[in-house]
Amino acid sequence: MHWTTGINSDSPESSVQMGPASRFEELFLPHLDAAYNLARWLVSGDQDAQDIVQEAYVRAFKGFAGFRGDNPRAWLLTIVRNTAYTWIKRRSTDEKLIPFDEESHVVPVDPGPSELSHEKRRELLGQALDRLPTEFREVLVLFEFEGWTYKAMADALEVPLGTVMSRLSRARRRLQQELAQFQPGEVDDEL
Amino acid sequence: MNCDEADRFLDAYLDGELEPDKRAELEQHLASCPDCKQKLDRLRQLREFFTASAPHYSAPPELKGKVLARLEVTRRSNLMALVRQPWLYAAALLIVSLVLAWLNFFPNQEEQIANQAVANYERAALLERVCDVVSPDPAVVKPWFAGKLDFSPPVVLPGLNFQMRGGRLDVLNNRKVAAVTYKRDKDLLTVFVWPGAGKPIPEKDWSISGNSVCSWNAKGLNFVCVSNMDDRKMDEVVDRIKEAVTNQVVSNQ
C-alpha cells in the first residue's frame, strides 16, 4: 500500500501547483502524451483511450511501491498496454468479436487515382493501421515511436524475441500490401 | 544465405537488431541479389513514410485533470481503507501499553538519581554518619573536598537559621559526588553536587518516601537536594542555595 506520500490536498483544478508530496505525479505525468498515444493506437477511440489511460494511472499508483526501475515511462507504458488488453478482452467478450483472420482480412479496393495527395496517403495509412491486429500496431508504435528495442518489447509483451521480430516484420508487410493496393503506380517510385 | 532466409532478416537488419554474424551473411547476399536489395529499399521507404505519416496522438487537454481526479479518489480511498483496519487500532493500543509499561518499569535517569539520593540521605541519617568532615565553615569543608574529587564543589551557606554540619563523599549514579549537609532543628538537608558535563540534570521536584527532592543544573554542575522538610520550606532554602552558588562561582572567577 502506498500511502506514505501523504495526501495531496490540491483539487484537480489547481493541479498545476502540486505539492512536493506528489512524487508519483512528478514521475509519471510528463508521460501522459505517450500513454495516451499508445492507448489510442491500441483501441483507436478517443474516449476509450482516455478511460484506459486513467485506469492505467490508477493501477500504476497502486503498484508504485513496487516500482524499482529507472525508466518510469517504459513502466507506465507497460501498464497502459496491459490495461488496454484487459479492456479489449472485456469488450470482446461483451460484443463477441469475430476472430481475426489474417488471410481474408485484406480489404479489396478500387485501384483509385494514381496520384494521391499527401493528406490522402496519411488517411490511407490510418485506415490500413485500423485493420491491423492490435498486436501488430503495438509493436509498430513501441518500436517506431517509443524506440523500444526488440528485447524491451519481448520483456514487456512477455513473448519470445523471435515473436517480436516476426510480428514487426508481418506488420510492415501488411502495411505495404494494403498501401500497394491503394496506389499501385506509386509504390515502386515513392514508397 | 538464400532469398527466403534473407527475407526473414530484412526487418531486423533495418532495425539494427541483427546479430553481427547474421548481418554479415545478409550483407553478402544483398550485394549479389538485386531482388532482395529492392525489398530492403522498399522496406526502408515504408519505414520513412510510416514515421513521417503515421498518426501521433497528444493527450486531450482535459485528460490531465481527469487523471489527477482519479488519483485523488484513489489516495482518499486508500487512506479510508487504512483507517477502517481494526488491526491499526490494536497495534496502536499495544504500542501505547508497551510504552506505559516501559516507563513504569524503567524510570528515567533523573528519577533513578533522585531515588538513589534519597536512599543515601536516609542511610547516612540512620547510621548517624552524616559527615566525613564536620565544620560549619566553608573555608574548612571546601578544601577538604579538594584532594578527593576531580572537581571543586561550591560550599555555601543558605542562611535561614540553617547551620552547616559538614561534607562527605557519596556515590550517585556510579560516580563520586560531593554531599554537603545542613541542619535546622529537626530539618536535615543534604545537597549532592557533581559535574553535569554533557548530561545536565533537568530541573524537577519529587516527593519520595516522605522526603522532598529537587534537582537542577547551574554553572555546569548538577545539584540534587534531599530533605525531610515540606515542599514550601524546601523551595525557600533551595532558592537561597541557588543564589549563593551563583554568587560564589562568580566571585571565584
- Supply the CATH number for residue B135's domain: 3.30.200.100
In order, the DSSP letters of A113-173 are -S---HHHHHHHHHHHHHHS-HHHHHHHIIIIIT---HHHHHHHHTS-HHHHHHHHHHHHH
Q: Are residues B247 and B140 in the same domain?
A: yes
Report the pLDDT value the prediction gives residue B245, as an integer from 0 to 100: 86
Q: Which residues form the domain of A28?
A: 21-95
Q: Check A36 against B59: CB less than 8 A apart.
A: yes
Report the pLDDT value the prediction gives residue A171, as an integer from 0 to 100: 93
Tell me which chain A residues have a C-beta less than 8 angstroms from the C-beta of B85.
none
Q: Are residues B78 and B179 in the same domain?
A: no
| Proportion of chain B above pLDDT 70, given as a percent | 97
Nearest to B187 by CA among B209, B223, B163, B215: B163
Q: Check B43 against A172: CB less than 8 A apart.
A: yes
Q: Are residues B78 and B158 in the same domain?
A: no
| Paired residues of B216 in beta bridges | B223
Q: Are residues B144 and B196 in the same domain?
A: yes
Residue finishing a domain among A31, A65, A95: A95
- Kindly state the average pLDDT of the residues A114-135: 80
Q: Are residues B126 and B214 in the same domain?
A: yes
Q: Are residues A75 and A136 in the same domain?
A: no
pLDDT greater than 70 at residue A106 = no
Report the pLDDT value the prediction gives residue B89, as an integer from 0 to 100: 85
Residue finishing a domain among A72, A95, A118: A95
pLDDT greater than 80 at residue A75 = yes
Q: Are residues B149 and B208 in the same domain?
A: yes
Q: Are residues B135 and B245 in the same domain?
A: yes
Residue finishing a domain among A66, A95, A124: A95
Among the residue ranges A102-116, B11-25, B172-186, B230-244, the one predicted with the least confidence is: A102-116
Report the pLDDT value the prediction gives residue B202, as an integer from 0 to 100: 87
The letter for the amino acid at B116 is Q
Query: Strands across the sheet with B204-208, in order?
Result: B133-134, B163-172, B175-184, B187-195, B221-227, B211-218, B204-208
| Total count of residues recorded for chain A | 191
Tell me which chain B residues have a C-beta less than 8 angstroms from the C-beta of A141.
54
Q: Are residues B123 and B192 in the same domain?
A: yes
> Which CATH number belongs to the domain containing residue A130 in this structure?
1.10.10.10
| Paired residues of B211 in beta bridges | B208
Q: Are residues B163 and B197 in the same domain?
A: yes
The number of domains in chain A is: 2
Scanning the structure block, which residue is given the C-alpha cell 490495461?
A83
Q: Are residues A90 and A119 in the same domain?
A: no
Among the residue ranges A3-17, A60-74, A125-139, B214-228, the one predicted with the least confidence is: A3-17
A108 pLDDT band, cuts 50/70/90, is very low
Q: Check B63 against A36: CB less than 8 A apart.
A: yes
Q: Which residues form the domain of B213?
A: 109-252
A149 touches B at CB < 8 Å? yes
- Dist CA B101 CA B79 (whole Å): 30
Q: Are residues B122 and B95 in the same domain?
A: no
pLDDT in tens, B243-253: 888 887 655 54
The number of domains in chain B is: 3
Please name the residue ranges forming H helices in B34-108.
Answer: 34-53, 61-83, 86-105
Distances (CA, A) of A147 to A34, A52, A91, A141, B15: 12, 22, 29, 8, 10
B59 touches A at CB < 8 Å? yes
Q: Is the dihedral of CA B47, B48, B54, B59 positive or negative?
A: positive
Report the pLDDT value the prediction gives residue A172, as an integer from 0 to 100: 93
> How many other CB atoms sit within 10 Å of the CB of residue A96?
6
> Which CATH number belongs to the domain containing residue A75 in this structure?
1.10.1740.10
- What are phi and psi for residue A165, nearest 5 degrees? -60, -45
Q: Are residues A114 and A162 in the same domain?
A: yes
Pairs of CB atoms within 8 A across A/B: 129
Q: Are residues B99 and B114 in the same domain?
A: no
Residue in A7, A50, A149 closest to B79 by CB: A7
| A32 Cβ contact list (under 8 Å, min separation 6) | A53, B59, B63, B64, B67
Q: Are residues A156 and A122 in the same domain?
A: yes
Q: Are residues A147 and A175 in the same domain?
A: yes
Q: Are residues B100 and B150 in the same domain?
A: no
- Kindly state the average pLDDT of the residues A182-189: 49
Tell me which chain A residues have a C-beta less than 8 angstroms from the C-beta of B46.
172, 175-176, 179, 191
Strand, coil or helix: B133: strand
B97 touches A at CB < 8 Å? no
Minimal CA separation from B65 to chain A, in Å: 5
- Which of A25, A26, A57 would best serve as a mutation to test chain B binding (most B beta carbons within 10 A)? A57
Residue in A25, A125, A191 closest to B42 by CB: A191
Are the C-beta atoms of residues B218 and B242 closer than 8 Å to each other?
Answer: yes
Three cell numbers, residue A178: 494494403
Cut 0.80: pTM above it: no
The letter for the amino acid at A184 is P
- Kindly state the average pLDDT of the residues B55-72: 91
Report the pLDDT value the prediction gives residue B225, as an integer from 0 to 100: 94
Q: Are residues A79 and A131 in the same domain?
A: no
| Paired residues of B226 in beta bridges | B190, B213
pLDDT greater than 80 at residue A182 = no
Report the pLDDT value the prediction gives residue A79, as an integer from 0 to 100: 94
Q: Are residues A121 and A181 in the same domain?
A: yes
A76 touches B at CB < 8 Å? no
Nearest to B122 by CA among B226, B15, B248, B3: B226
